[in-house]
Amino acid sequence: MTETAVMILCGLIAGPVVGGLVSGLDRILTARMQSRIGPPVLQPFFDVVKLLAKEPLVVNVWQAFCAYCYIAAASIALVLFFLQSDLLLIFFVQAVGAVFLVVGALSSTSPYSQIGAHRELLQILSYEPLLVLVVVGFYLETGSFKLTDIYAWPHPMLLKLPFLFIVLGYALTIKLRKSPFDLSTCHHAHQELVKGLLTDYSGPLLALTEIGHWFEVVLLLGVCTLFWATSWIGMAILLAVTYFLEVLVDNITSRMNWRWMLSYVWGVGLTLSLVNLIWLHQG
């Protein structure tokens, strides 16, 4: 019982803390790649605290409802991950958050927000099947959807699921809102849709969407660790390399349109998944 409570607490703390730090490191790394110095590593926390202290402004009261549902689902998904629950269930719970974020954006009539929301739906459409197939890959290798069993697997998964790791990379890039898939909203100032999906979230509600995003980032990085779950060092190296590549890709690619995203991600992603799944199935 106490162990469960500790794990729940870990999940609730790890989300904002680790997520915020990752975001801070991301900004420094990006700045260095662009020959800037960049903000201090704690800058994301300062930003969020400042937003939280602002006067609440809403366009439609349901935005508040949706923002809270988003952060609730994102945090529950991460807590379930820490509780070593069913991977597919975790996936479904995080999808709840993604949908509420979109519904909240749609509840504003601003065209920027509306188009951003639709692009976000297309992003969801692009990455969801891939995440399911990655989870199926884990099942075919370990015979279970439960994280307890997957973490207990004695061999590094990356060696059997290399293509599925690349597929997860696509999903991660979309989820982290990195180029070339940052269609709906992004952290950089090159968005033709103002802030797209998040245009009409402001003040404390915007802060909530940011914290929710941190929870999601930590969850996805957690899924990455499953690929080398046999040693802490392996996990750390894999995470560092993956995240570095994400930032690199973000800085060397330009944003594409949704048609390209859908055809490219489904085309390449599904092919790679199928190859890997057939390999597991026959092997």
Can you give the binding site for other proteins, defined by CB under 8 A?
55-69, 72-73, 76, 85-86, 88-89, 92-93, 95-96, 99, 102-103, 105-115, 117-118, 121-122, 124-125, 128-129, 132-133, 136, 139-140, 143-146, 149, 194, 199-200, 262, 270, 273-274, 277-278, 281
Distance from the Cα of residue 244 to its chain's centroid: 15
Q: Where are the beta strands (DSSP E) in 116-244?
A: none
Residue closer to other proteins, measured from CB, 38 or 129: 129
Nearer to other proteins, 14 or 93 (CB): 93
CB 130 within 8 A of CB 168: yes
- Rounded to whole angstroms, the Cα distance separating 257 from 129 reads 19
Q: Minimum distance between the CB of residue 198 and other proteins, rounded to whole angstroms?
A: 10
Collapsed DSSP state (helix, strand, coil) of residue 146 = strand
Cβ of residue 102: shortest distance to other proteins, in angstroms?
Answer: 5
Q: Minimum distance from CB of 225 to other proteins (Å)?
A: 20
Residue 198, CA atoms < 13 Å, CB-side half-sphere:
22
Exposed, middle or buried by CB within 10 Å (0-12, 13-18, 19+), for 120?
Answer: buried
CB of 24 to other proteins, least distance (A): 27
Closest approach of other proteins to the CB of residue 220, in Å = 17
Q: Which two tokens stand for residue 130?
A: 């891939």
Nearer CB in complex with other proteins: 68/163: 68
Q: Which is nearer to other proteins, 148 or 231 (CB)?
A: 148
Q: Cβ closer to other proteins: 231 or 271?
A: 271
Cα separation, 19 vs 248, whole angstroms: 19
Residues in CB range of 165: below 8 A, 6 or more apart: 158, 224, 227
Find where tokens 């979109």 sit.
102
CB of 202 to other proteins, least distance (A): 8
The nearest distance, CB 73 to other proteins, in angstroms, is: 7
Q: Please name every residue paired with 34 in a beta bridge, in sequence order, or none if there are none.
A: none
- Taking the least distance from each CB to other proteins, the nearer of 99 and 248 is 99
What residues contact 111, with CB distance under 8 A and at least 6 apart? none
Nearer to other proteins, 202 or 242 (CB): 202
